[in-house]
Chains A and B, each alone.
Chain A
Amino acid sequence: MSREYRKWVAEYQDQAWTLARYILKDASEAEDATQEAFVKLWNHRDNIDPERIKPWLMQVTRNHCLDRLRRRKPETEFVDYQSADERGPLHGLEQSELGNWLKRSIAGLKEPYRSLVVLRDIQQHSYEEVAGVMDLSLSQVKVYLHRARKQLREQLAEVRP
């Protein structure tokens, strides 16, 4: 079973970490939340359907992140994705700048939009998987995702040269 666990770690640690990083916007907290999720995975490994390890892990990671967000003081705001260049994509929309701007914009979305965009648009999970992770219906996932993308599009339109 330890071998199975090592396989899961190799396959999913980056995805869980990326999700935690976007939600928490703090590398140290994201590490802790990811570790908590994997501890839970290890402790419940016998009770989880092997076919559903990934969505289960993503859901637990997200829940741990949301718990941490709730425990934060209201004024605490992390800007982990802040780049040195604050100008965003205004200056020529170079790909790296667009990437940095986009990361900040995604991190600035409210939940559940932020998680939806990370899971679907960055990590390319299927709609069904996203629905499972987020505990939402398929139609809710679609509607929320449209709204999230629309918000990002509107922000992009504001800064477009």
Chain B
Amino acid sequence: MKEFENQDMEAIEERINDLLEGRLDDGEAERLKREAQADHELATAIIDAYQLQRAMSELSIERAPASLRRRLKKIPAQSRPAWQQPRWVMAYATVPVLALAMVMMQPSTPSASELEQARQDLAVAFAYIDRVSVRTTLTIQSEIGSEMSRAVAEPILESINEQEIL
């Protein structure tokens, strides 16, 4: 392998690899073949490299184990922000429901406009009541007055009449 040793080792390695990967042109490949015929060690190096390449190409890519496949599938779900995790979604969903329930249970507080309207309604009602009250009072007074006079006069008249009869 005298010629092989005299050459740059890296260059020889590169030529062997280029030969195996089909990157040498025909002329270069023929020259290397002739060198290998004259150099047993170079020939052995090429044969070993070829054997190795073939053996490595037969080493298949290994199938990932089922446990890893499952882990990789779960990544999108597990990588969501905490508040998007299913158990947190349930927890967060109860918050607005509870808040709504509390609002509904509380006595309602009227707004300012509602208060003003109520005040006006009340004023009208009182005015109406006042008017009714005045009329009622007059009616009662007049009614009670005649009744009272009748109640007082009638027994007297009856008494006088009885005395006159006697």
Contact = CB atoms under 8 A, between A and B. Distances in A.
B72 A157 contact: no
Q: How large, as a class, is the contact surface on chain A?
A: 35 or more
Interface in B53-69: 53, 55-59, 61-65, 67-69
Contacts of B157: none
A38 B64 contact: no
Q: How large, as a class, is the contact surface on chain B?
A: 20 to 34
B64 A13 contact: yes
B13 A149 contact: yes
Given A34-B72, A102-B56, A117-B56, A18 B13 contact: no
Interface string A27-59: 100010011001100110000000000000000
Interface stretch (B44-52, B95-103, B114-122, B131-139): B44-52
Contact of A146 (B13, B53, B61, B75): B13
B68 A35 contact: yes
Contact of A145 (B17, B65, B75): B17
B52 A153 contact: yes
A154 to B, nearest CB: 9
A138 to B, nearest CB: 12
Contact residues of A: prevailing secondary structure: helix
A99 B55 CA distance: 7
B87 interface: no
Given A149-B13, A149-B49, A15 B72 contact: no
B14 A146 contact: yes
A14 B17 contact: no
A35 B75 contact: yes
Contacts of B73: 6, 9
A102 B55 contact: yes
B68 A149 contact: no
A7 interface: no
B56 A153 contact: no
B71 interface: yes
B14 A42 contact: no
A83 interface: no
Interface string A7-29: 00100011111100100000100
Given A39-B79, A102-B56, A142-B17, 6 more contacts: A14-B64, A27-B65, A102-B55, A123-B61, A146-B17, A157-B44
Interface of B: 10, 13-14, 16-17, 44-45, 48-49, 51-53, 55-59, 61-65, 67-69, 71-73, 75-76, 79
Interface of A: 2, 5-6, 9, 13-18, 21, 27, 31, 34-35, 38-39, 42-43, 95, 98-99, 102-103, 106, 117, 121-124, 142-143, 145-147, 149-150, 152-153, 156-157
